[in-house]
Structure 1
């Protein structure tokens, strides 16, 4: 049976981080799936294509569910750590029995003055576009112990609760960044690397309205030439390629997960007309938007 969004759907919903009782938003959330707390009750909406506006860290102890992150399928494996960043499109094929620990936190948390340094860590920046970290026995013990300490604090509502949660989260993010660097050969953070990430973050905010390098260079107080040189040196790709790649990703998300027409997608992404969008898409993907939609839906059905 196909698992894709019904054709009439035109919006990919975005879910905010909710407290356990559903009352309002929070910056950190910690939960257990299976174990003494019983099976985690998955919101049925999560079985449809959706985005999360928060970071999700999951330690899987047992289970073999299959899910998609954007266009990449994953079958979760025991004793493995999984992570995602805001605004990616998630699709879980089924919600079978799972045991593990889940932690979520928002970008608002990372914007707090004492936490801004965490924003530069590899597990947050994720330059390899990875989603899983393999754990040896010692890593597994450390990460599970840390997350269980967070779970206790989260449920206890004791004195200095937020400070304790923040401290444990910092430890976990730093530890995972070490593993990330080992497994994905992440390089040291430099000023130019930070500029690359700032540029990519701006694209994430303005891809639908700004399609040229000069507009981003102006926001970064740089000349277009200097920005292009730094981005090419840091990533191996030109600045305009980064902009175009993000537009293609967003177009593919809408073609796969919504029933928007090609003209509507072109409008949403800031193209003057659908004909130009069609030429742009075909030049970068070697296929038309309609042909891609048919191919990808057949493949993922």
Structure 2
């Protein structure tokens, strides 16, 4: 496997939707020569770091002690775990979405990734106790019903931490539905009226809600999602540009090339070359 390819990762056991790992005891899970793209959520609590950083969707982020990070399904992720201590809880996507629908009063996990939080000193003993509970259950019976309860408590307390990236506002649930629809349909050439119909609003009113909550229009959300997926495929797949264009719903590769250059200032082939140089 070349470094230009991404490793597609699934959870170990489809019957256990919540998994628990101590980072320092499971370094073999990470080969930092490659990028990983998981089909599940990952919640990292980094307890000890050493001038550490990670790459998420082409951006580098520093990691410091007592940060909690959420890596979303489909994100390109690369981390060297050498010298890092902490915990990883991986969660099936459907499971995670069901739990946060119940527990997250501010829906902080429903907007723009990546997302990370600062663990305050007064919360550290509580988080340590939760990790002990996770570890005990994981190393013994692995009962989903128990792990789910621990996860629900964990998520409830994470939402009380200081969010380091941005303060996501409490937004209209219809906007959350729209963002989910974008994730599901962004490769399809649907007009904005398709999305407006799904939440029983006019296009004008829909865009007013989206801009108020996220500061960009629905069309911009769709374009941003297309661009991110294009970067992932161009940088970390063996597909040629025409195949990528077709996969993203473009009838002609020239249309895709114009879209990509307009958004990034460079052609897809130049972007691929630049990514390979970095690798």
TM-score (norm 1): 0.81
Distance 1:153 1:41 in 2: 21
CA distance in 1, matches of 2:156, 2:242: 44
Show the counterpart of 1:185.
167
Greater alpha carbon shift after TM alignment, 240-249 vs 96-105? 96-105
Determine if contact 1:81/1:134 at 8 Å carries over to the other structure.
Answer: yes
Query: Unaligned 5+ residue runs, structure 2?
Result: none
- 2:7–2:34 Cα contact (<8 Å) kept: no
Rate the CA distance shift 1:80–1:116 in 2: closer, same or farther, 3 A: closer
C-alpha displacement at 1:252, in angstroms?
A: 1.1
Alignment check: 8 A CA contact 2:56 2:114 kept: no
Deviation at 1:119, TM superposition (A): 6.1
Query: 1:17 corresponds to which residue?
Result: 11
Instruction: Give the aligned partner of residue 96 of structure 1.
Output: 82
Equivalent in 78, 81, 85 of residue 68 of structure 2:
81
Q: CA deviation at 1:245?
A: 0.9
**Structure-2 separation of matches of 1:133 and 1:4:** 34
Q: SS of the counterpart of 1:184? A: coil
1:116 counterpart (101, 121, 124) = 101
> What are the residue-to-residue correspondences of 1:277-292 with 2, within 5 Å?
277-292=256-271
Residue-by-residue CA offset, 1:25-72 (whole Å, 9 max, x unaligned): 4211112233xxxx3142366742231111111112223344311111
Work out the CA distance in 1 between the residues paired with 2:62 and 2:164: 22
Unaligned 5+ segments in structure 1 are none
Structure 2 residue aligned with 1:5: 3
Q: Is the 8 A contact 2:130 2:150 kept in 1?
A: yes
The structure-2 alpha-carbon separation of the partners of 1:209 and 1:119, relative to structure 1 and needing over 3 Å to count, comes to farther
Q: Deviations over 1:212-271 (max 9, x none)?
A: 312322333433233222212221111111111111111111121123222111111001
Provide the rounded CA distance (Å) in 2 between the counterparts of 1:256 and 1:179: 34
- Asked whether the 8 Å contact 2:118–2:164 carries over to 1, the reply is no
Equivalence for 1:141: 125
* Residue of structure 2 aligned with 1:31, choices 8, 21, 45: 21
Give 3-state SS (helix, strand or coil) of 2:19's partner: strand
Counterparts in 2 of 1:57 and 1:111: CA distance versus 1, 3 Å: closer
* Residue pair 1:70, 1:90 contacting (<8 A) in 2 also: yes
Question: What TM-score results when the alignment is normalised by the length of structure 2?
Answer: 0.87
Instruction: Let me know the Cα RMSD of the aligned residues.
Output: 2.7
1:1-301 alignment runs, 5 A limit: 5-6=3-4, 9=5, 12-19=6-13, 24-34=14-24, 39-43=25-29, 47-64=33-50, 65-92=52-79, 94-110=80-96, 112=98, 116-118=101-103, 121-125=106-110, 127-157=111-141, 161-180=143-162, 184-188=166-170, 190=171, 192=172, 194-298=173-277, 300-301=278-279
**Secondary structure of 1:74's match?**
strand
Asked if structure 1 preserves the Cα contact closer than 8 Å seen for 2:42 and 2:88, the reply is: yes
Checking the alignment, whether the CA contact within 8 Å between 2:48 and 2:85 is kept in structure 1 is yes
Asked if the contact 1:60–1:98 (Cα under 8 Å) also holds between the matched residues in 2, the reply is yes
